[in-house]
Amino acid sequence: MKKESIFIVLRIIIFSLITVIVGILSVQSSLNKLRENQQELFSISQKELEKILVDEIPYKRQLRNLYSLGLRAQDKAEARDFYITKTEDGYLQQANYFAEINPNIATYAKRLAKMNQALKEQTSLLYVGTSGKYIRGVSQIRSGYPTNDMVLRNLDELFLELSYRQINTLDLRRSVPEERNKYQQNYYRTHSIWTDVAAFHATIQIMNELQTKKIIVDYAKPYALEKNYQKEVYPQKMLGDQLHSTGKYFTDSDDLILLTPKLPVDLTYTDLSTNQTRRGEYYQSVINPVEYARKDTSYFNASKIYFGTDPKHFKIVNNQIGNGGKILLLTDSYFLNISPYLALMNQEIEVVVTESASESKIEKLVEDGNFDVVLVASQSVSIQDSFFNFYK
């Protein structure tokens, strides 16, 4: 380790320990910065400190955890230069002071319309949207703190545009109205992505919509019954992406809950980016074995517990179904955990994270693939150029 890096580490450790002990120091005012000669002291702002914590330096996670102790000791409700804020009930939210109506909503609707025209005759298109973790009137945002109301308006505008173009849509905010009463069941305090329970119920709504529109009439309905699943709870073992970003003491950690089938499972998971394949029951196929093995010694990351570390393009084949539905899911990371449940109910699902794929790759799949339906699914904050990366 370079001498300069050692002193950066020492500076952050000293700062964190002092703020924990005293509990009244202002993180944003100053920080004693130890130089190599150990004679002069300088101050740096919280914003500068957080930039250091983002850099790839040794013991980054441990330093963030120390830093979060200081924030919590001072009863801070914001971190990462106000990028993440804490609600009255301890939920972490993405903050946005400068959100505005996206002027490209009509453009995104046109791209979906072009996709719809490019589909094979036997393939249908369905856009599925939902709010994400922030729900107006439910999330207990502190007075004076920013909200993401604008991104909800973006979603409203997109649904209106798609309706005008007669494109099939499913607004999960309307099909699952009880979400307002089950917020704690559907969302983690520390993670930006919804829970397995919420993902499962969203999958049921999607399959019901596909059946109503006669796109996929037959699917494995026993796997659509919650009674055929068991909840595996790992108490306070889950450190979501937002808490990982701020440091694990900024708010209380979550219980990780995996909703796993009791019925027989025989799935083949293939990472199409690396051609790595796993086949077997649930824990041999869709669960990431490396991350799962950490449960007794470390913490889970709900973003990594399924599939692999950074899934971008994969396929799941249900070896128990001979002639069920075939689905192409074009999605953001928020909707990734609906894919295991879609796979259990259908014959095959291919999944592409659009932000990680080229325009040509997506369009070739849409036009050449043998699918019953192309599902384009996103939360409200994903309504931007990087998600609608096709038919420009």
Rounded distance, CA 169 to CA 162, Å? 7
Three-state SS for 317?
A: strand
Name the pTM for this structure. Answer: 0.83
Read off the amino acid at residue 158.
L
Q: Model confidence over 113-143: pLDDT tens digits?
A: 999 999 999 999 999 999 999 988 889 999 9
Averaged pLDDT for residues 6-22: 51
- Phi, psi for residue 221 in degrees, rounded to 5: -65, -30
**Residue 20 pLDDT greater than 60, yes or no:** no
Question: How far apart, in Å, are the Cα atoms of 184 and each of 227, 240, 249?
Answer: 20, 15, 20
> Which pLDDT belongs to residue 81?
75
Rounded distance, CA 213 to CA 193, Å? 28
Averaged pLDDT for residues 345-357: 96
For residues 372, 373, 374, 376, the Cα torsion angle rounded to the nearest 10 degrees is -160
> Which pLDDT belongs to residue 31?
34
> Which pLDDT belongs to residue 38?
33
Q: Model confidence over 212-268: pLDDT tens digits?
A: 999 998 899 999 999 999 998 877 777 788 888 888 889 988 888 889 999 999 999
Q: Model confidence over 45-69: pLDDT tens digits?
A: 555 555 555 554 555 677 778 888 8
At 178, the pLDDT band (50, 70, 90 cuts) reads low
At 6, the pLDDT band (50, 70, 90 cuts) reads low
